[in-house]
Amino acid sequence: MRDFRVAVKPMFERYTEGARRVIFFARWEAHQFGAGEIELEHLLLGFLRQTNFFGEEAGKSIRDEIEQGLPRVEKTTTSVDMPVAAAAIRALAYAAEESERADHHHIGVEHLLLGLMRESKTIAALLEKHGIDREKLPREIPPEPEQDLPDRQSLHALIDKLPETAFRRAKRRLEHMQNWPPIPSPGPPEAPGVGGGFARTAALPAYGWRRCSTRTEDGTEVFETQHFHRGHEVTLIERYRMSEDGRKLAYSQEIRGPGKSVHHTIDFDIPES
C-alpha cells in the first residue's frame, strides 16, 4: 500500500485548489469510516463534499448509497498517515490522462470524476443511474481555471510597451515558445519530504524551478510549494484542517517572499450530509 501523498506525487503541482480539497476530504472521509486505506468510494465522497454538481437531492442519494456499502468502524485519528488503495491510485492516474487528453495543464475536479468513472464500473453505473453521462461530463462540469489567460491583443499591447533594449530577449523567448509545450530543462534533484511527506521539483524553463512537498502537522494537511525565480524564493504554504464534527473546513494560505509575508484564512461551512 502506498501513502496518499506519494500516490499524487507525479502530478501534485498540477492540481487545482478544488482538486486538492477533494483529496483532503477523501482522506478525512476514510478516517471517519475507520478505513485502513483510501478507496475509490472515499474519493467520490470527497467530490460530493467539495462540489454540488449533482444537485442536493441526487448528491444525498449518491452519498447514502455509497455509505450503505462501506463498513464503518471506530474512526481513526487524522494525524495518522493514510495509505491509498491500488484502484484509487489508478483513478488518479486516469484523471491525469483525462487532463492531458483535453490538452489541459491543470488537473481539476472534472478530471478526478472522469478518472473515478473510468476506473470503476460500479461508480460509473451509480452515477449514470442519476443521469450522469460520462461522454457529456467534460462539457457539463466547467473546468476550474488555473489563472486568467491573456489574449493575443493584450500580449501585443505589452510588446508595444517594451523598451528597445528588451526586443532581442523577447524575440528569443517567442522563438523558443514556437515549440509548445517546451522541453523542460534539467532541474535540481528531488529532495526528501518534510515530516514524512514528499518533495517534488519541477523545472520552469528559462525562469527557475519549484519544489512541492506535503506533510501532516497534528491533523492538519500542509501543502508547501517553493518557487525559485532568478535567485529569489517565494513560498506558498496551504493548510487544511477539518473540525471533529465535519461541519467546518479551515483553510489558511501563507505567502512568503523577499522581505514580505501575506497570510489569509478562510473557514468553510460544510453542509450536513
State the pLDDT at residue 91.
Answer: 93
Nearest Cα to Cα of residue 198 among 38, 9, 1: 9
What does the pLDDT look like over 16-33, one tens digit per residue? 888 888 988 998 888 888
Provide the residue range defining the domain that includes 173. 150-180
Q: Is 217 within a domain?
A: yes
Is the domain of 32 the same as that of 121? yes
What does the pLDDT look like over 71-105, one tens digit per residue? 777 766 655 667 888 999 999 999 988 888 888 88
30/221 Cα distance (integer angstroms): 14
Q: Is 145 within a domain?
A: no
What does the pLDDT look like over 255-264, one tens digit per residue? 998 888 899 8
Is the pLDDT at 51 greater than 90? The verdict is no
Residue 98 · residue 51 · CB < 8 Å: no
Q: Is 116 within a domain?
A: yes
Is the pLDDT at 120 greater than 50? The verdict is yes
**Domain termination residue (choose one: 111, 140, 169):** 140
State the pLDDT at residue 196.
Answer: 42
Q: Is 53 within a domain?
A: yes
Q: Nearest 5°: phi and psi at 144?
A: -80, 120
Is the domain of 53 the same as that of 81? yes
Is the domain of 171 the same as that of 243? no
- Mean pLDDT score, 60-75: 84
Is the pLDDT at 200 greater than 80? The verdict is no
Domain count, the chain: 3
Is the domain of 111 the same as that of 36? yes
Is the domain of 229 the same as that of 189? yes
Q: Is 226 within a domain?
A: yes
Is the pLDDT at 185 greater than 90? The verdict is no
pLDDT more than 70, % of the chain? 74
As a whole number, the mean pLDDT across the chain is 77
273/255 Cα distance (integer angstroms): 33
16/146 Cα distance (integer angstroms): 7
Is the domain of 114 the same as that of 211? no
